[in-house]
Amino acid sequence: MRKLLNELSSDCASAYHINSDIKIDNITVPENLIRKSKLQLPTISENELFRYFTNLSRKNYALSTVFYPLGSCTMKYNPLVNEYIAKLEKFTMLHPLQDLITVQGSLEIMYNLEEILCKISGMDAFSLQQAAGAHGEITGLLIIAKYFASIKQKRTKIIIPDSAHGTNSASATYAGFEVISLKSEKNGNISLQKLKNILNSEVAAVMLTVPNTLGIFEKKILEIAELIHENGSLLYYDGANLNAILGVAKPGDMGFDIMHINLHKTFSTPHGGGGPGSGPVGVKKFLEPFLPIPRIIKIKKHEFCFNYFKPNSIGKVKAFFGNFPVILKAYVYIRSLGKEGLKNVSKYAVLNANYLLAKLKHKIKVSCEDKCMHEFVLAPKVILKNGVKTIDIAKRLLDYGYYAPTIYFPTIVEEAIMIEPTETESKQTLDEFSETLLKIIDEIECNPEKVKNSPFNTEVKRLNEVVAARKPILKW
Ligand SMILES: *Cc1c(COP(=O)(O)O)cnc(C)c1O
């Protein structure tokens, strides 16, 4: 094998002989870019190559090797069978410009998913076009703008609690609104009085995340919805935490008018590193005319087509019809779990979070009273001493073989550590994780330098994140 590779590589090398007159399709390669020495192709065996890539993959932190308690992002186990189905050639070889007659099955899947999402959320119609949660927010806000334009009301403001994800304000601003920040109560709940004080005839909508980013359910949601509707404003649901209430409660029943779902968080798609995603937007009936085009319509059983004629639609928000493989994975996930299975997803997510919370709250202050939904936020400020900060705890966790939780979010909790164990982790994993976290808390006392200088066991040590962001090295 090695001999063969050697021969091949020397053939390659001679093919790349040095010639200053190389021309590719009549383009002359500048002299300074022409290779001056022979190409050094590595000569390695298949075994070596295999080991090289396997070892490279081990340097990564991923859900397939470690516990990944990244709060708000919902890094749950995504069944491999979903990946397998999304990879079937019958799906991957489709082209969005194909004749509709030849893609009826895919349209049916999309149509069915829209219907299922309506049932799960209590909304009346869904659009699957959006490529992420943030994209869903922008779409939703453009719909809200168009709705008020259609009833000739000038409403320019969006109220967003200070515990919200940064994308909420960014999307509202991007859609042309002015953002009014609503100060949350200690546990992230809304204060009805404070909300009353800032509601006026200029407010188009209030965006809420339920359960909120501290993992607490908004108990007064019905009163809040009534207040907002009395004011003539709309209520937007950020669905990033929908995995806490599946099959148990519906945003539509709580009074929300419009929402997005992060399919990649709640309904199975590996999404580390920022993609891929899908952020379907759901609306109550009165907002349906404004949804992006095209809309899938059912002509009769197993027969579907697109409707581009929706005069009040905000238009298109993405090329073609959405991120189809993610839509497909969500469909398979939901269909394979069924109604009871989905309910269990939420029940176990909440149970696991509360189990972990119970193991930690005696030692570390938490931002909720005694119970949480699918995630919780630790507020370790009072036990941080000897110069140790939350970031050091996160780095030290890497040494013990864990992916770090979300830190410094939500911003209303100082030194926040946000933990979301998800429904798919075992009691043993949660026990080990909580023991490790408590061990690190002890280390803050007895060996602070170790915590501050961690990690020791990772491929790269501490990075200077400011330099990395300001002066990124993009080639080597
Ligand atoms: C993740 C998240 C978003 C944004 O969703 P993306 O799919 O990452 O664009 C918005 N709000 C909350 C609460 C989130 O956790």
- Distance CA(379)–CA(364), nearest Å, equals 7
Q: Is 343 exposed, middle or buried (0-12, 13-18, 19+ CB in 10 A)?
A: middle
Q: Is the peptide bond preceding residue 455 cis, with omega within 30 degrees of 0? A: yes
Identify whether residues 166 and 218 lie together within a single domain. yes
CB 335 within 8 A of CB 342: no
- Distance CA(234)–CA(148), nearest Å, equals 10
Question: Which pairing describes strands 258-261 and 234-239: parallel, antiparallel, or unpaired?
Answer: parallel
Residue 168 Cα to ligand 1 middle (Å): 8
Q: Which residue has the tokens 């630790």?
A: 378
- Distance CA(127)–CA(150), nearest Å, equals 20
Identify whether residues 203 and 309 lie together within a single domain. yes
Q: How far does Cα 27 stand from its chain's mean position?
A: 45
pLDDT at 188: 85
Name the closest-CA residue to atom 2, ligand 1: 240
CB 222 within 8 A of CB 200: no
Identify whether residues 330 and 376 lie together within a single domain. no
Give me the sign of the Cα torsion angle 151, 154, 155, 156. positive
pLDDT at 420: 97
Q: How confident is the chain (476 residues) per 10-residue block, as mean pLDDT?
A: 44 44 69 88 90 88 89 92 94 94 97 98 98 97 98 98 96 98 91 97 98 95 98 98 98 98 95 85 98 97 96 96 96 97 98 97 88 96 94 97 95 96 97 98 96 93 87 82
Mark which of 337, 357, 382 sits at the end of a domain: 337
Secondary structure element (H or E) that encloses residue 430, with its range = helix 427-446
Residue type, 325: P
Q: Tell me, what CATH number does 424's domain have?
A: 3.90.1150.10
Over the stretch 356-407, which tens digit does the pLDDT of each residue have?
Answer: 999 999 999 998 878 999 999 999 999 999 999 999 999 999 999 999 999 9
Give me the sign of the Cα torsion angle 439, 442, 447, 453. positive
Q: Which residue has the tokens 């999309």?
A: 110
Q: Is residue 72 part of a domain?
A: no
- The torsion of the CA quartet 225, 226, 228, 231, rounded to 10 degrees, works out to 170
Mark which of 314, 337, 360 sits at the end of a domain: 337
pLDDT at 279: 98
CA-74 nearest atom, ligand 1: 15
Q: Which residue has the tokens 């790349």?
A: 16
Mark which of 271, 304, 337 sits at the end of a domain: 337
Residue 341 Cα to ligand 1 middle (Å): 24
Q: Is residue 46 part of a domain?
A: no
- Distance CA(352)–CA(429), nearest Å, equals 10
Q: Is residue 112 part of a domain?
A: yes
Q: Is residue 43 part of a domain?
A: no
Residue 133 Cα to ligand 1 middle (Å): 5
Name the closest-CA residue to atom 15, ligand 1: 72
Identify whether residues 244 and 299 lie together within a single domain. yes
Identify whether residues 175 and 317 lie together within a single domain. yes
Identify whether residues 262 and 369 lie together within a single domain. no
pLDDT at 18: 45
pLDDT at 23: 59
Q: Is residue 51 part of a domain?
A: no
Q: Tell me, what CATH number does 98's domain have?
A: 3.40.640.10
Which structural domain range is residue 401 located in? 344-470
For the chain, report the end-to-end CA distance as a whole number of angstroms.
31
pLDDT at 257: 98
Identify whether residues 324 and 350 lie together within a single domain. no
- The torsion of the CA quartet 328, 82, 78, 256, rounded to 10 degrees, works out to 20
Binding-site residues, ligand 1, Cβ < 6 A: 72, 132-134, 165, 167, 209, 213, 238, 240, 262, 277, 279
Count of structural domains, the chain: 3
Identify whether residues 240 and 178 lie together within a single domain. yes
Q: Is residue 56 part of a domain?
A: no
Q: Is residue 225 part of a domain?
A: yes
Q: Which residue has the tokens 């290779």?
A: 35
Residue 70 Cα to ligand 1 middle (Å): 12
Name the closest-CA residue to atom 8, ligand 1: 133
CB 182 within 8 A of CB 162: yes
Q: Which residue has the tokens 């869904």?
A: 126
pLDDT at 24: 60
- Distance CA(37)–CA(58), nearest Å, equals 34
- Distance CA(376)–CA(362), nearest Å, equals 14
Identify whether residues 13 and 148 lie together within a single domain. no
Identify whether residues 268 and 360 lie together within a single domain. no
Contacts of residue 327, defined as CB under 8 A and 6 or more positions apart, other chains included, come to 109, 110, 113, 128, 263, 278
pLDDT at 25: 66
pLDDT at 278: 97
Site to substitute for ligand 1 among 70, 72, 241, most atoms within 8 A of C-beta? 72
What letter does residue 387 receive in the DSSP assignment? Answer: T
pLDDT at 4: 42
Count of CB atoms situated within 10 Å of the CB of 1: 10
pLDDT at 109: 97
Identify whether residues 95 and 181 lie together within a single domain. yes
Choose among 176, 125, 154, 168: nearest CA to 232.
154
Q: Is residue 369 part of a domain?
A: yes
Site to substitute for ligand 1 among 137, 238, 420, most atoms within 8 A of C-beta? 238
Name the closest-CA residue to atom 3, ligand 1: 133
Identify whether residues 333 and 360 lie together within a single domain. no
Secondary structure element (H or E) that encloses residue 157, with its range = strand 157-161
